[in-house]
Structure 1
C-alpha cells in the first residue's frame, strides 16, 4: 500500500474507529485495500501521449469517460509524455500508476524489473506509423549517409527503423553513427527539423506522419505493410503491478473506461476526432487541425486486443539491433479485467497470450 503522509497517519491514529469503519467498508465491497470515497479518494495517475495513436486516452479524458467509470471515489490525475522510455521512468520512480504506451518500452519495463513492475491490461491501437522521407529518397539504399529522426532512443519506432535498416543491410549505432544516422528527438520538433533540412526523414506515429507528408515528404514505409494482416500493437495500456495489487477495483474501472473510450472512438469517429483536436489544444495551446486528424484516421485501428504476438516480435527486433537482451514475457499480461468488460458489453474476449 502506498505510504500515507504523517498528517494523515496522525488523523488515522486519532480516529481509529473511523479508520476501521472505512477499511471494513472496503472489505465488504470486495474492492481495493483502501477503497476511495468522495472525501478520501484513491488517486490514479494516468499517462498518455498527445498523439492520435493514443486516441482512446485523449477521448477518454476529454469526454469524461474515465471520470465517469472511475466514479467519485477515484481522483484522476493525468500526465503527458513524448515517448515511452520517459513514461516508464515515471512508473519506476513512483510518479505514475498507469500509462498508455508502446510495446518496446513495455518490454523494457518488464525486463528491467525481472517481470515485477508492470502488467498489460488492455490494448488500445494498431497502425498509424510510417517512415516519411524527402522526395528524392526512393529506397532503403537512398538513406545511406542520411539523418532520420525517431521519438526517443529505444522507443517503439526507434526499434522499428533500426531493425528495418538492418534487414536492408544498413547499420546504425546508439550514438547516431553507422550507415544511417538515427537522431532521437521530441516529435514536436520533427516538423521543424524536417523543413529546415536538419533531418532527411522520420519514423514516427500519427499525427506527425501526416504533418511531414503535408510539408513535402513522402511515405517510404507504411509500417502496416511489415506485419501479418497489417496489424501490430502501437499502443497498449499498462499498470504498475504495485498499484494493481493495492487497488484492483480501480484498475477494473480504468479498463472499463478504456473499453468504453474505444467504443466511442469507433462508433462516433467525427465526435472523437473533434475531442482529440480539443484535447490536444488544451495540452499544447493549439488545437490539432481536424483535417490532419481525418487524414491520419484511416491508417489506424482502435482495438482493445493488445496483439501480444506483435509485442513478442518487436522484442525479437530490439534484441537483434542490440537495444535489449532476451526477455521472458511470462506474467506480462493480465487481461482478466479486459475480458470481464468485453463480456459485459457482449464483445469478443481476447485470448490469453
Structure 2
C-alpha cells in the first residue's frame, strides 16, 4: 500500500499469474491522503464491492482500490505471499489452511454466504441420484477449497468415508471442460461456472448449504504484518463495502449491471445467482445473533476448527494453528466507528 495526495490516476495491471486488474482512481482535487489497496477478486456476483468501486464510494473514503481477478481462493496464495496483492478474496476455510502452511494470514471480515451457490452436479442422464451413488466415482473440484471440505462432510453425512469418492483437483474452467467431456462423473463447482451447466441440463444432487453451517463464507484475507500496518485502509474498504451493500438493497439492478461489466457473465446467470446469494454488513461477525458471529465457541469457530482438522487429515495443511484471532474483529470495530 502506498500513500499520496489524491489525484486522478490509473495503475497498470499487476502481474499476478495472468490475473486481470481493474483500478478505481483516486479523487481529483481533494487535499487528503489517499490509501491504496491491491485486492484480489473472483469473477462472481459481488454487488457491494462493484457498486462501491463504480459509484466511487471507495474514493469518497480516501481509498484507491485495484481489483485483480482470479478464478479461486487458492489461486491467490502465491500472489499474497509475493506481495502482488495485499488482500485476496475467498472462503474462510481455504485461507486458514494457507495460514497453517506458514503464510500467517488473517480474515478481515465475513461478507458473503455462498453456500447455496456451491453445488455437486452430475450429467442429466447420469445414473447418480444422490451422494451415496458417488462411491468409487471421480468428482472435479478445487483442492483445498470450500468444495473439497464440503465433499468430505457431505460424504460423512451420508454414511460414507472421504475415500469413497475421488476429488480430481482442477480450477473451475477446467472442471467445466472435464464435466462436458465426461472425464469425471460429477463436479463440485460454484457459480457462475456452475450456472451454464445447470442451464444445459446438469442436475444438482447436493449443495454446501446442506451442511449446517456450510463452509462457503467469503471475504478478504491478508498477511498479518500487512493488516497490522494498514488497519485504517482495510476499515475504509469495509466501510465502502457497507455503502455498496446499502445501495444494492435500494437498487438490485445496479449490482447486476456492474457485475456483468466485471465478470462478463450472461445477465441470466447474474439474475439467477442473486436469488441465492446473501451478503452481510462488514461488522456482522461482531453480532452474537448473526450466522457468521465470530467468537470462541461460535458455530463459525467450530466449523473452522473442523476445516483445519480436515486439512491436517488429508495432508493439505502442515501445522496446527490457533484460530482464535484468525478473524480480525479489531478491523471490524474500526470500520464500525467510521
Query: Does residue 145 of the first structure (1) align with residue 113 of the second (2)?
Result: no
**RMSD after superposition:** 2.7
**Deviation for aligned residue 1:311:** 5.4
Write the mapping of 1:278-293 to structure 2, written as runs, cut at 5 A. 278-280=261-263, 287-293=264-270
Q: Secondary structure at the match of 1:328?
A: coil
- In the alignment, the residues of structure 2 paired with residue 315 and residue 206 of structure 1 have an alpha-carbon distance, to the nearest angstrom, of 26
**Deviation for aligned residue 1:216:** 1.3
Given that 1:60 and 1:261 are in contact with CA atoms closer than 8 Å, whether structure 2 keeps it comes out as: yes
Structure with more helix by fraction? 1
Given that 1:120 and 1:332 are in contact with CA atoms closer than 8 Å, whether structure 2 keeps it comes out as: yes
- In the alignment, the residues of structure 2 paired with residue 146 and residue 154 of structure 1 have an alpha-carbon distance, to the nearest angstrom, of 19
- In the alignment, the residues of structure 2 paired with residue 209 and residue 180 of structure 1 have an alpha-carbon distance, to the nearest angstrom, of 20
Write out per-residue CA displacement over residues 278-331 of structure 1, whole angstroms, 9 at most, x where no aligned residue: 111xxxxxx211111111222211113352433541441452352435431122
Given that 1:81 and 1:87 are in contact with CA atoms closer than 8 Å, whether structure 2 keeps it comes out as: yes
- In the alignment, the residues of structure 2 paired with residue 268 and residue 220 of structure 1 have an alpha-carbon distance, to the nearest angstrom, of 33
Write out per-residue CA displacement over residues 122-144 of structure 1, whole angstroms, 9 at most, x where no aligned residue: 22111322212223311222112
Match in the other structure for 2:233: 250
Q: Secondary structure at the match of 2:324?
A: coil
Given that 2:109 and 2:219 are in contact with CA atoms closer than 8 Å, whether structure 1 keeps it comes out as: yes
Structure 2 CA distance for partners of 1:300 and 1:84, relative to 1, 3 Å: same
Q: Secondary structure at the match of 1:264?
A: helix
**Deviation for aligned residue 1:249:** 2.2
Instruction: Return the match for 1:179 from 161, 164, 170.
Output: 164
Unaligned 5+ segments in structure 1 are: 3-33, 173-177, 281-286, 345-353
Structure 2 CA distance for partners of 1:107 and 1:242, relative to 1, 3 Å: same
Structure 2 CA distance for partners of 1:341 and 1:219, relative to 1, 3 Å: same
Query: Does residue 107 of the first structure (1) align with residue 100 of the second (2)?
Result: no
- In the alignment, the residues of structure 2 paired with residue 35 and residue 222 of structure 1 have an alpha-carbon distance, to the nearest angstrom, of 43
The number of equivalent residue pairs is 292
Given that 2:235 and 2:331 are in contact with CA atoms closer than 8 Å, whether structure 1 keeps it comes out as: yes
Match in the other structure for 2:67: 78
Instruction: Return the match for 1:68 from 52, 60, 63.
Output: 60
Unaligned 5+ segments in structure 2 are: 8-32, 286-291
Match in the other structure for 2:44: 51
Q: Secondary structure at the match of 1:36?
A: strand
**Deviation for aligned residue 1:119:** 2.8
Match in the other structure for 2:4: 36
**Deviation for aligned residue 1:64:** 3.5
Given that 1:130 and 1:221 are in contact with CA atoms closer than 8 Å, whether structure 2 keeps it comes out as: yes
**Deviation for aligned residue 1:112:** 3.0
- Report which of the two structures shows the higher radius of gyration computed on alpha carbons: 1
**Deviation for aligned residue 1:68:** 3.5
